Amino acid sequence: KTIYILNGPNLNLLGKRQPEIYGYETLEDVEKLCRAACAEGFDVKLMQSNHEGQLIDWIHEAREAACGIVMNPGAFTHTSIAILDALNAFEGPVMEVHISQVHKRESFRHHSYVSMRADGVIAGLGLEGYAAGTRRVCQLA
């Protein structure tokens, strides 16, 4: 059973971008952490795009190909009704992950469209949030 680990805009720069906020580890490290967090019989597929439509296409693909989704939608979290709609068309568990503690930051980061669909929301645990999200998907899927 495959869990999609979906990452939105600017997360390709993880490890290089604002390391004081997001740390020095990369998406490769995220993939390793998630794989290690999987229960037996599960595996992960990590994807990243800077494009909203690509993320939506992957969520549609997940309807057939994935048993659950762990998603860090980046800034689309706060803007994208289209990603919310796509997630509403997915039937498995969805975990929303933010590396930083968004509620401690600018007020425009306090609202999340994705939270209206997510079965769990994790913020401020650093990369550990992805592992926790993966463990939870394994429990729920």
- Give the annotated binding-site residues: 72, 78, 85, 99-100, 109
Exposed e or buried b per residue across 6-26, where buried means at least 16 C-beta atoms within 10 angstroms of its C-beta: bbbbebbebbeeeeeebbebb
CB nearer to ligand DQA: pick between 49 and 72 = 72
The answer to whether 69 and 137 are in contact (CB under 8 A) is yes
> Is 22 a residue of the active site?
yes
Binding piece for ligand DQA, criterion CB under 6 A, among 40-48, 49-57, 73-81, 131-139: 73-81
Is 62:129 a contact under the CB 8 Å cutoff?
A: no
Please tell me whether residue 98 binds ligand DQA under the rule CB under 6 A. Answer: yes
Our finding on whether 6 is near ligand DQA (CB under 6 A) is: no
Residues that bind ligand DQA in the complex, under the rule CB under 6 A? 10, 72, 74-75, 77, 98-100, 102, 109
